[in-house]
Amino acid sequence: MTMGNPYVFQLCQVLLQGDKELEAAMHHFADAFEGPFIAQPGETLLRYGDKRPLTFCIQSGWGFAQSMLPSGTLRNFELIIPNSILANEDMLFYGRPMQAALVAKTEIVYYTLDHPKYLASLEDVHAWNQLFNRICSGLIPIRKQRILDLKVMSKPELLARLLQRFPDVFTYCTQEEIASYLNVSRSTLSRMLRKN
C-alpha cells in the first residue's frame, strides 16, 4: 500500500477546473488517500447502515449504488463508474448511518480517505471546507443529471445508453439487477432486449 496518488490530485483538478487558490489543499487532500485497494466482483465497499466516515476515489471498474426500499429490499439506483469520488455523505454531513450500499460488479481499483484522521492532520480547516464544498458542488450536477436522465429518458433509451457504455454489462450483472437499475420488471427488460 502506498500513501497519496497523483491520480486523485488530477481528478480533483478536473472537478475544480484547475483552481490555483486551492492547489495546496488539493495536494494535502490527495496525499491523505490510502491505496490502491482492489474490490472483487460482488464485494461491498459500503453497506447500508455503515457508520464509517469514508470517501472513495474510484480509478477503474464499476458497480452499483443501492438504496433500501420500504419493503426492505435493495434497489440499484446509480452506477459507480471510474473517475468518480463517492462519500458516505449521510455520515459526513448529517451524522447518520449510510442510507445506501456500494457494490462492485467488476474488479474495482479504488483509494479511501478516513475523514477524522485527515481532519486531525489539517492546519488550515478553512481551506479544506472550501475544497470539499467545491468538490461536492462539482459532483452534485453530475448526480442530478443522472437522476434526471432516469426520470426523463425512456426505458429503451436508458438500456441503449447502458449497453453503449458497458457492452459487457450482462457478463457481470443478472437481468434482475439490470431491471432493478432501470426500474422495470424482468419480463419488461426481456421484451426490450428482444427489440434491441
Same-domain pairing of 27 and 64:
yes
Domain that holds residue 189: 153-196
Same-domain pairing of 26 and 38:
yes
Using DSSP, state whether 42 is helix, strand or coil.
coil
pLDDT of 1 reads 39
pLDDT digits (tens, 9 = 90+) for 135-190: 766 666 666 666 677 778 889 998 988 888 788 888 888 888 888 888 889 999 99
Average of per-residue pLDDT across 57-68: 87
Task: Provide the domain count of the chain.
Answer: 2
Same-domain pairing of 196 and 118:
no
Same-domain pairing of 120 and 181:
no
**What is the edge-to-edge ordering of all strands in the sheet holding 63-68?**
44-46, 100-104, 63-68, 74-80
Average of per-residue pLDDT across 15-34: 76
Same-domain pairing of 159 and 95:
no
pLDDT digits (tens, 9 = 90+) for 90-137: 666 666 777 788 899 899 999 998 878 877 777 767 776 777 777 766
Q: What value does the mean pLDDT of the chain take?
A: 80
Residue 20 has pLDDT above 60, yes or no: yes
The three three-digit cell numbers of residue 2, written as one number: 502506498
CATH number at residue 99: 2.60.120.10
Residue 130, CB-side half-sphere exposure with 13 Å CA sphere: 13
CATH number at residue 184: 1.10.10
Same-domain pairing of 109 and 176:
no
Same-domain pairing of 126 and 31:
yes
Same-domain pairing of 188 and 125:
no
Give CA–CA dist 45/63, Å, rounded. Answer: 10
Same-domain pairing of 176 and 84:
no
